[in-house]
Structure 1
Amino acid sequence: MRRFPPSRIVCLTEETVETLYLLGEQDRIVGVSGYTVRPPEARREKPRVSAFTSADMPKILALEPDLVLTFSDLQADIVADLIRAGVAVHAFNQRDIAGVLAMIRTVGALVGAADRAEARVKGYEARLAEMEAAARGRPRPKVYFEEWDDPLISGIGWVSELIEAAGGEDVFPGLRVCKSARDRIVSPDAVIAAAPDVILASWCGKKVQREKIRRRAGWDAIPAVRNGRIVEIKSALILQPGPAALTDGLDAIRAAIVAA
């Protein structure tokens, strides 16, 4: 990093973009992921320089970033290329709510806005505690979350925790510690046996087809299917481990559970 705080930041995933905007530090951002949709103005204002597992390296280098923010092992090759090019990189790998809150604190510290970041975190913690308190003592509907449909992938860490915070019971809680999607594959029969009351679906980057879910062999025996409780949550609200998941994503989960 050539200077502190960095004045030219490239964000290769959306959650750090949204965090910087919420902290009032958006003027530091000089490039974003092509998948960025939150906040909407970021897509209009900032050059798009990457997908998720690929990036336009010449375009990034031309922006002369002081810092590039990345996420997960899936961007490891991009990170390696940036480091070889002499660029400062911070690679996040948050997979649970605690990790999301730590990411927000770290981004704040990196841009000299630690106090504002801490205030945000305290607000999110209070909101989670309030929702957990409201759900205490109430029936907890069983919830199956589907991140992908072929193969069936469930159990993403922060989503599992948010389901519990919102008053539901994740039917595959043991999968939340598995970082790799391949380790979170479930069988159709396992979902039938779990008998969820609610199915939450967010098919990473494509529209959920409820009818396709309803037509799966044997799934007409699942209470969620039988009672029409198949709910799509937009990927931008729940699959980004950042502020969106703790706000609009949590609200969407809670609404689905309350209606069950």
Structure 2
Amino acid sequence: MTRGPRRIVCLTEEPTEVLYGLGEQDRIVGISGFTVRPARARREKPKVSAFTSAKIDRILDLRPDFVVGFSDIQADIAATLVRHGVEVWIANHRSVDGILDYIRRLGALVGAAARADAWAGELARGLEAIERESAALPARPRVYFEEWDEPLITGIAWVAELVRIAGGDDIFPELSAEPLAKARILADGGPVIARAPDIILGSWCGKKFRPDAVAARPGWDAIPAVRERELHEIRSPLILQPGPAAVTDGVQAIAAIIRRWAETRRG
């Protein structure tokens, strides 16, 4: 007997990735147009939303019995659907533990609690292994993570946590605790210059990171990361959504960059 919702619309990528990972993809009837993981989802499921907007009529035509979204940014979409009698869950997790718990909760909602718990445990052990390996590195870099360039927006909590797990230290830990992007805006590049990161990671949501443009910013030639050309892109689908991608491929990409940086300082 099938338990839980049978016709799910996913307004962001992470619930789609989780449900596919649990083998429950047949429940999905609509996805976000920004979904890239898994690749097959784009071929198999209709795209019914962006991030701040959605095709409400199209969603209602799909007769969903459950809609999953993320954050207060989707509050208006959620409210509209609720007024049409649709059950909506807006998750608001912004930490590594929150990601793992999200997998467990979504799995439980579709009757796959045991599988979800096992998967979350496996992901947690993977993170622990990366942290053990990074602890043995000969040096820890200062890392600046840039989520957007105009204006400058620093990394969110789960990104700062993954940087730490991978062996680095986020240079704006006080800003990473801010859940909203507008609270992580830098008025100018002065604070980045002052905190002198050894590595700059860029993940500009929706557009390609441009290391040369970053290096050319006034005064940034004084930053160690710029002098040593340690400017790297982490593709946004790997890190900017609080789902399985961030705690697997995302953190692994960060760890590989930090490992290469640290190895040049051995001895």
| TM-score class, shorter | over 0.9
- Distance in 2 (CA, whole Å) between partners of 1:247 and 1:36 is 17
Q: SS state of the match for residue 145, structure 2?
A: strand
- Tell me how far 1:256 sits from its aligned partner: 1.1
Give how far 1:143 is off.
Answer: 0.4
After TM superposition, list the pairs within 5 Å mapping 1:12-23 onto structure 2: 12-23=11-22
Q: Distance in 1 between matches of 2:260 and 2:231?
A: 11
Match in the other structure for 2:75: 76
Distance 2:11 2:93 in 1: 14
3-state SS, counterpart of residue 106 of structure 2: helix
Q: What per-residue deviation string (whole Å, max 9, x for no partner) do you get for residues 114-143 of structure 1? A: 001001110111011111111225311110
Q: Where does residue 212 of structure 2 map in the other structure?
A: 211
The match for 2:143 is 143
Aligned partner of 2:220: which letter? W
Residue 67 of structure 2: SS of its match in structure 1? strand
SS at match of 2:54: coil
C-alpha separation between the residues in 1 aligned to 2:115 and 2:176? 30
- Unaligned 5+ segments in structure 2 are 262-267
Conserved? CA contact 2:71–2:92, under 8 Å: yes
What is the TM-score when the length of structure 2 is the normalising length? 0.95
Matched residue, 1:158: 158
Q: Which residue is 1:183 aligned to?
A: 183
Cα offset for 1:38?
Answer: 0.3
Contact 2:199 2:230 in 1 (8 A): yes
Map 1:35-114 onto structure 2 (within 5 A).
Answer: 35-114=34-113
- Name the amino acid aligned to 2:95: D
RMSD (CA atoms) = 1.0
| CA distance in 2: counterparts of 1:245 and 1:144, whole angstroms | 17
Aligned to 1:167: 167
3-state DSSP class of the match of 1:196? Answer: coil
Structure 2: distance between partners of 1:38 and 1:131 = 22
Contact 2:134/2:259 (CA < 8 Å) preserved in 1?
A: no
- The match for 1:258 is 259
Q: Deviations 1:30-89 (Å, cap 9, x if unpaired)?
A: 000000000000000000001101000110001000100010000000000010000011
In structure 2, what residue type is equivalent to 1:159? Answer: V
CA–CA distance in 2 between the matches of 1:170 and 1:43?
A: 34
Which stretches of structure 1, 4 residues or more, deviate above 3 A after TM superposition?
none
- Deviation track 1:160-215 (CA, whole Å, cap 9, x = no partner) reads 00000000011111112101111111230100011111000000111111111010
Q: Aligned residues: percent identity?
A: 57
Find the aligned partners of 1:239 and 1:137 in 2 and give their Cα distance. 27
Matched AA of 1:49:
V
Partner Cα separation in structure 1 for residue 259 and residue 130 of structure 2: 12
Unaligned runs of 5+ in 1: none
Residue aligning to 1:227: 228
> How far did residue 21 of structure 1 move?
0.3
Report the residue type matching 1:240 in the other structure: Q
CA distance in 1, matches of 2:47, 2:30: 6
Opposite residue 39 of structure 1, the aligned amino acid is P
Whether contact under 8 Å (2:154, 2:172) holds in the other structure is yes
Deviation at 1:220, TM superposition (A): 0.6
Does the CA contact (< 8 Å) of 2:221 and 2:227 recur in 1? yes
In 2, Cα distance between equivalents of 1:155 and 1:183: 11
Aligned letter for 2:58? K
Q: State how far apart, in whole Å, the 2-side matches of 1:207 and 1:237 are.
A: 13
**Distance of 1:214 and 1:185 partners within structure 2:** 19
Q: Which residue is 2:119 aligned to? A: 120
